[in-house]
Amino acid sequence: MNYNLFSLFIVVLLTSFGRLSNTTKPKDAPVTAIENPASGALAVYKMLDANSFSMPNPESFSEALEGFYALKQKGIIQKDILTLIDFSKSANTKRLWVIDLKANKILFNTLVAHGRNTGEEYAQTFSNAAESFKSSLGFYATGEIYNGKHGLSLRLDGLEKGINDHARERSVVVHGADYVSESFIKGNKRLGRSQGCPAIPVEMNEKIIEVIKDKSCLFIFHPSRNQSAFRKLIS
């Protein structure tokens, strides 16, 4: 082989290899929760970028993440977005998190209301019944946006039979409300309450709905939650 031709071949080969190497993920780049769903919940929890927000409790996050993976595998949800609401916490604290599991980052952390018959400052009792004015626990798939009596709103489909599957017919939706605010807490010693909807601050409403709409996972946690209906769903 001609020496000059052979040299040209080596240069082309090395250049091609360099390009291929640059397309691979750096060894020290963090692995996301979506890339490695087998990761334990604690490992994923430690990878989360809090983004200046508070972190959810590991217990509620672990239960939410387990359900997210199961629902994603079955195709019931489609986005890599997880909304976690922890009703074990005081209504006067920011107990809703929207988490991007692909980027390992908390996008939002804000106040959220529970139903008027679910409790005062703390959520205590829950129901799937119409006109109960109570919140329902468990896993939901987010639905479509519409404009209703509360303005821009997001429909929810409860996934657990007997626990939250009447959410759509009960009009349990995500919407903004004036009574979900720090000023309301200051004047009333507690956050306002809804008719069962996970109502959020008006100024956060459009931003959050736009991110979580159309088949993302929403989970409402409380230590009293019975997981049997969810186990049947994913079995």
Q: Are 103 and 183 in contact (CB under 8 A)?
A: no
Tokens 């959020």 sit on residue:
200
| The pLDDT value given to residue 50 | 97
Sorting pLDDT into bands at 50, 70 and 90, what band is 5? very low
Mean of pLDDT values over 109-130: 98
Delimit the domains of the chain by residue range: 32-234
Cα→Cα distances 130→85, 112, 119, 126, 227, Å = 21, 21, 17, 12, 22
Domain 32-234 in this protein, CATH class? mainly beta
| The pLDDT value given to residue 35 | 76
User: According to DSSP H, which parts of the chain are helical?
Assistant: 3-23, 41-47, 58-73, 182-188, 202-212, 228-234
Tokens 């329902």 sit on residue:
136
Round the average pLDDT of the chain to a whole number and report it: 90
Q: What is the pTM assigned to this prediction?
A: 0.87
Q: 200-201 and 173-177: which strand pairing? A: parallel
Mean of pLDDT values over 109-133: 98
pLDDT > 90 in the chain, percent? 82
Q: Give the separation between CA 138 and CA 125, rounded to whole angstroms.
A: 13
- Find the angle CA(189)-CA(131)-CA(221) to the nearest 5 degrees: 60
| The pLDDT value given to residue 36 | 73
Sorting pLDDT into bands at 50, 70 and 90, what band is 34? confident
pLDDT at 189 over 50: yes
